[in-house]
């Protein structure tokens, strides 16, 4: 889906096989879920070539999780694009990162992170994660220190307008540029970051009310707004 992927493992007993396994999994996810590939299952569903009863188990799971997330977010998370096509990328990315991290963990490894398109699952030791300045992308406005958590950022400053307000005629979001969410894992952080960004300026308050989540929003004027517990992740671990 056009995303750079980075996997770093700090354990001493790591070998190349786990990297091959993880990147093979991401390739599988891309082949199945990318709406930009003519042969993907998502494309074939959108073209009416695969019926509901013919969907793969993975696709059924993603449809179920998408509906669940739509209900939790009062409809702001919606995998139907303005063109009326099914595009699950806003959920699949975090789900795939989480599954990749689970594979690494099951291999007996503990200290690692998986980063796909800037969304990160960090395990074991503390890892530093930067929040980019959307006006000057080579700079970070915040450095987070996290372990055994996920960090996801939704925004328009890299990929342009690709997130829409599904409750207001699919209008584009212009009042904010990025919204970063810290959650118990990357699947949870990613799906709620997407939904919160679709809410515009009120998205940060949605994150504020979610137990176990923190967030940081940057608006079109460069003003940052953070949830009440966010700052504890932005302090160096001594």
By mean pLDDT, which of 24-38, 157-171, 175-189, 201-215 is the weakest?
157-171
> How far is residue 182's CA from residue 204's CA, in Å, rounded to a whole number?
12
Q: How many CB atoms lie within 10 A of CB 73?
A: 21
CATH 3.10.520.10 fits 5-233, yes or no: yes
pLDDT band at 160 (very low <50, low <70, confident <90, very high): very low
Cα torsion through 12, 18, 22, 28, rounded to 10: 180
> For the segment 69-98, what is each residue's pLDDT rounded down to a tens digit?
999 999 999 888 878 899 999 899 999 999
pLDDT mean over 121-134: 96
> How far is residue 147's CA from residue 124's CA, in Å, rounded to a whole number?
6
pLDDT mean over 99-103: 98
Ranges of each domain in the chain: 5-233
Residue 174 confidence (pLDDT): 78
pLDDT band at 156 (very low <50, low <70, confident <90, very high): low
């Amino acid at each position: 889906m056009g995303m750079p992927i980075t996997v770093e493992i700090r354990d001493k007993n790591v070998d190349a096989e786990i990297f091959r396994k993880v990147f093979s999994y991401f390739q599988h996810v891309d082949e199945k879920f990318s709406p930009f590939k003519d042969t993907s299952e998502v494309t074939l569903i959108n073209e009416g070539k695969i019926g509901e009863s013919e969907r793969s188990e993975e696709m059924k799971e993603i449809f179920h999780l998408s509906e669940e997330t739509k209900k939790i977010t009062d409809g702001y998370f919606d995998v139907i694009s303005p063109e009326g096509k099914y595009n699950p990328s806003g959920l699949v990315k975090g789900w795939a990162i989480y599954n990749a991290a689970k594979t690494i963990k099951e291999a007996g490894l503990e200290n690692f992170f998986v980063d796909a398109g800037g969304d990160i699952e960090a395990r074991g030791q503390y890892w530093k994660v930067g929040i980019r300045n959307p006006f000057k992308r080579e700079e970070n406005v915040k450095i987070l220190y996290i372990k055994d958590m996920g960090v996801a950022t939704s925004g328009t400053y890299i990929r342009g307008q690709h997130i829409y307000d599904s409750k207001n005629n699919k209008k584009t979001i212009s009042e904010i540029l990025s919204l970063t969410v810290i959650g118990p894992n990357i699947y949870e952080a990613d799906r709620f970051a997407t939904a919160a960004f679709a809410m515009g300026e009120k998205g940060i308050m949605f994150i504020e009310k979610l137990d176990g989540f923190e967030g940081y929003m940057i608006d079109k004027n460069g003003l940052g707004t953070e949830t009440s517990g966010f700052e504890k992740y932005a302090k160096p671990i001594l």
